[in-house]
Amino acid sequence: MELYQLTAYTLIEKLNRKEITASEIITALERRIKELDLKVKAYVRIPNLDFSADYKNINQDNTLLKSLPISIKDNICTERNNTECCSKILAGFKPPYDATVIKKLKEKGALIFPLKTNMDEFAFGSSTENSCFGPSHNPWNLECVPGGSSGGSAAAVAADEAIWALGSDTGGSIRQPAAFCGVVGLKPTYGRVSRYGLIAFASSLDQIGPITKDVKDAALLMNIISGYDPLDSTSVNIDTPDYLKALVNDIQGIKIAIPKEYFVEGIEPEVKAIITEAIEKLKTLGADCQEVSLPHTKYAVPVYYIIATAEASSNLARFDGVQYGFREKSSDLIKMYKKTRQRGFGEEAKRRIILGTFVLSHGYYEAYYLRALKVRTLIKQDFDFVFKDFDCIICPTSPTAAFKIGEKIDQPLKMYLSDIYTISANLAGIPAISVPCGFTKRGLPVGLQILAKPFNEPMLFQVAYTYEQNTPWHKMKPKL
């Protein structure tokens, strides 16, 4: 096998045994990206790809990661390296600091890949079509989307253009593209991983998390990026377990809840059949699976798009052309603001800013935003009630497999429903993971989603690892 096909954990073992060098991995990745990325378009600013000798010769023998490269989504700040959220309004922005997750990775000896992965502008989308750099493509079918908003990260990992990657998840933006691309994607508990240095979409929902080739790599990456951060006021000061110890191939007696609301009209029959088969597999492995109800699930999408757009409207108010990024010239300050925002933001960004401003406006705040917050509490209480009797919840990651590029771009409501099964975890602040569980007749991956109570990521890893070790799906690669 080529080096770029191997998992991070396997490469680290080879580096420890001095069978390979970090420069050989980087050279192999560079070659792979040059061969494929004009088709996949997982990365941004790709034409001038040429890593310096500095990148190719680093080898930190005394660190955990030994200069193993990791790819980063374009909304996570990396010092003196373009971080633009795939938006014209942030063109040329180079942060003067690293995000906390980047600092943690560097401390462990990771090489931060110089190319950022593509994404929907400011993470607004479920297909990576809303990028000022153009859409990414699904490695399993180049005519299809890779999901979003972390579609570039998921496509890069699936196409072996990345060893592993970081994404961000506001309403499913790690898990849904992971499902579409046949890789592993984890959204941690809110507060488990620092958000400092993540350019905010919706501050009460955003979380940084791993996108990897298998569950073991996700556990290793979570070991590195988790933990309390005083620079993030939402970071929770709680002990971080060793997630690698949770990788036990045994789910005998674990109680799994199957929410009936996730198997109603709207789910593709093929997806439903594949998820049902995965549940049966978990039963044969010893799990106790029972149907439950999450009665407020039907309100998750409207609640999410009220809260998320309101917070986005507030967070994006800072992008006005004054201090950094794109600016339209004008002799009048107010006109400069207006022209900059009008021409700097894409259509989906403007749509969400307008929606968010509306629900926060005088006379509508109580009717929309405040009511949405109350229903959010009810959604969280549904999960709390189920987790009193069950260890985890199993459901589809997405109601469909990957759809064609352009199929839903002019139908925002249909696009928003792509996240119907992932949104609730963000509203409730609970952890969730997506793992590959099969393929449709068109050869497109389907993801199985596992949810657990807050800060119980070890349960996610145990169930996901057991399922993975007893099925072949994670070993399958797209034929590019």
Per-residue model confidence (pLDDT) at position 454: 98
Q: What is the pLDDT of residues 107-137, one digit of tens each?
A: 999 999 989 999 999 999 999 999 999 999 9
Q: What is the pLDDT of residues 218-256, one digit of tens each?
A: 999 999 999 999 999 999 999 999 999 999 999 999 999
450 or 55: which leads in pLDDT: 450
Q: What is the mean pLDDT of the chain?
A: 94
Chain centre to alpha carbon of residue 274? 22
What span, in angstroms and rounded, lies between the C-alpha atoms of 432 and 451? 4
Per-residue model confidence (pLDDT) at position 318: 93
Q: What is the pLDDT of residues 273-292, one digit of tens each?
A: 999 999 999 999 999 999 99
Q: What is the pLDDT of residues 337-394, one digit of tens each?
A: 999 999 999 999 999 999 999 999 988 888 899 999 999 999 999 999 999 999 999 9
pLDDT band at 264 (very low <50, low <70, confident <90, very high): confident
Residue 103, pLDDT above cutoff 70: yes
Find where tokens 């493509």 sit.
Answer: 137
Distances (CA, A) of 113 to 50, 81, 163, 378: 12, 10, 10, 41
Q: What is the pLDDT of residues 132-171, one digit of tens each?
A: 999 999 999 999 999 999 999 999 999 999 999 999 999 9
Per-residue model confidence (pLDDT) at position 415: 80
Q: What is the pLDDT of residues 305-325, one digit of tens each?
A: 999 999 999 999 999 988 888
What span, in angstroms and rounded, lies between the C-alpha atoms of 41 and 122? 18
* Catalytically active residues, by annotation: 73, 149, 173
Look at residues 300, 126, 123 and name the one whose alpha carbon lies nearest to residue 198: 123
Residue % of the chain over a pLDDT of 90: 88
Residue 24, pLDDT above cutoff 80: yes
Tell me, letter by letter, the H, E, C secondary structure of the chain.
Answer: CCHHHCCHHHHHHHHHCCCCCHHHHHHHHHHHHHHHHHHHCCECCCCCCCCCHHHHHCCCCCCCCCCCEEEEECCECECCECCCCCCHHHCCCCCCCCCHHHHHHHHCCCEEEEEEECCCHHHCCCCCCCCCCCCCCECCECCECCCCCCHHHHHHHHCCCCCCEEEEECCCCCHHHHHHHCCEEEECCCCCECCCCECCCCCCCCEEEEEECCHHHHHHHHHHHECCCCCCCCCCCCCCCCHHHHCCCCCCCCEEEEEHHHHCCCCCHHHHHHHHHHHHHHHHCCCEEEEECCCCHHHHHHHHHHHHHHHHHHHHHHCCCCCCCCCCCCCCHHHHHHHHHHHHCCHHHHHHHHHHHHHHCCCCHHHHHHHHHHHHHHHHHHHHHHHCCCCEEEEECCCCCCCECCCCCCCHHHHHHHHCCCHHHHHHCCCEEEEEEEECCCCCEEEEEEECCCCCHHHHHHHHHHHHHCCCHHHCCCCC
Q: Which residues contact 434 (CB under 8 A, 6 or more apart)?
A: 174, 175, 176, 178, 179, 184, 185, 186, 397, 447, 448, 449, 450
The answer to whether the beta carbons of residues 430 and 189 sit under 8 Å apart is: yes
Q: What is the pLDDT of residues 1-21, one digit of tens each?
A: 899 999 999 999 999 999 999
Per-residue model confidence (pLDDT) at position 54: 52
Look at residues 6, 45, 53 and name the one whose alpha carbon lies nearest to residue 27: 53
What span, in angstroms and rounded, lies between the C-alpha atoms of 143 and 402? 10
Q: What is the pLDDT of residues 172-204, one digit of tens each?
A: 999 999 999 999 999 999 999 999 999 999 999
pTM: 0.96
Full set of structural domains in the chain with CATH: 3-257+388-475 (3.90.1300.10)
Q: What is the pLDDT of residues 387-431, one digit of tens each?
A: 999 999 999 999 999 999 999 888 877 787 788 999 999 999 999
Residues for the chain: how many in total?
Answer: 480
**Burial of 459: CB neighbours in 10 Å, binned 0-12, 13-18, 19+:** buried
Assigned token pair, 379:
């959604």
Per-residue model confidence (pLDDT) at position 57: 57
Q: What is the pLDDT of residues 50-95, one digit of tens each?
A: 555 556 556 666 789 989 999 999 999 999 999 999 999 999 999 9
Residue 48, pLDDT above cutoff 80: no
Strands 184-187, 288-292: pairing kind: unpaired
Assigned token pair, 266:
């709207």
Find where tokens 């373009």 sit.
Answer: 82
What span, in angstroms and rounded, lies between the C-alpha atoms of 250 and 42? 36
Terminal Cα distance for the chain, rounded: 15
